[in-house]
Amino acid sequence: MKPKNTTNRITTNLVSLKRIKPKTVFDDERELTSYISENEFGMLNALSESIGLTIIDTEHQKFSGRYYEDITGTIQETGDKIIIEVQFGTSNHDHLGKIVTYSAAEDARFAVWIAEKFNEEHITALDIIQLNIFAVEFRIYQINDSPYAFDYNVVRRPEFTLTEKQKTEKKIAYENYFSLLSDALAPLHVHIKPAVGQHVMMFNSGRSNIFYSIGFNPTIKKYSIDLIIHTTQSPDKNHAILHELEKYKTDIEKVVYDDVDGEMVWEELPVAARVRLSIPCEKQIIELTDEDKIHLIDWSRKAVEKMLHFKKILSKIHI
């Protein structure tokens, strides 16, 4: 027997990927639903990417007749209604009934049923019903003590057709905008790269697992630059770093507000922390005029320059 070729052997350690139950991260289904609806960590953007339709104008726990629907929204490409039903655990008859009932109540063309796992009989039932219902598995992963990572896996995709124009117009608009933004930020030695979804880009803070994101949030109709603190699976550590940053809050906000319009929010999140500087952005990317884009890029350049002050402060924090 010939010996194995060891010239290309892996020399670094390989570690296993752990799957984490959502209920260990989120208090209940309602909290997970709010995170998706409000696009925390790009969760709604990622769902849009997974199903191939852009979900905008979401409402959380909307009361419709006798029911509270988890999430309602609109499909940007078509203007149709969509409803989203979220559950922990494996698909069950109760949530199958809800997704069908809510779709009828809202006269929704599309629906998304999110669960950790789907039983085969529920997938078969959706095929028989022949509604435009996506079955999407929601998963959370972790490597050793790394921050949590989420993922969507579409296990049932209804048959429908969007025109090529509907599919590509928005994508091209985002690409063109972020190309202009990249050029504008280059003199600041800031190099943006894709984040979750096509609505947002990210760049480094100089510290591992603390990063900046910049871009559009169609769900809440804002354009923002965020400092995201997500260093460990322990929320306490992320919140402690935010509290240290808040010691410089008065000085930082003075620097920012002297030259940049917007609202600055410092907030703890269940598994992370964030400082967000945002301005309203009512229009969708394909609705922006050249004047709108110039305004956003000019604001971005000024805002990024001011938000970079966090890099100096982070170097002083040893948590």
What are the tokens at 140? Answer: 């959370």
Task: Give me the helices (H) in the chain, please.
Answer: 29-37, 43-51, 93-106, 120-129, 164-185, 235-246, 249-257, 290-307, 309-314
Provide the pLDDT for residue 246: 94
pTM over 0.75: no
Find tokens 């760049």 and name the residue. Answer: 203
DSSP-derived pairing of the beta strands 81-86 and 110-115: parallel
List all residues 6 or more positions away from 130 whose beta carbon is below 8 Å from its beta carbon: none
Q: How far apart are CA 264 and CA 279, in angstroms?
A: 9
DSSP designation for 107 = T
Taking a C-beta distance cutoff of 8 angstroms, is the pair 23, 88 a contact? yes
Provide the pLDDT for residue 166: 60
Q: How far apart are CA 73 and CA 277, in angstroms?
A: 25
Q: How many CB atoms lie within 10 A of CB 309?
A: 14
Looking at the structure of the chain, the number of domains it has is 2
Provide the pLDDT for residue 167: 61
**What's the CATH code of the domain at 35?**
3.40.1350.10
Q: Which of 107, 140, 156 is the last residue of a domain?
A: 156
Residue 30 belongs to domain spanning: 17-156
Which stretches of the chain score pLDDT less than 70? Answer: 1-12, 64-65, 161-167, 195-197, 219, 232-233
183/63 same-domain check: no
Provide the pLDDT for residue 284: 85
Provide the pLDDT for residue 247: 93
Taking a C-beta distance cutoff of 8 angstroms, is the pair 168, 158 a contact? no
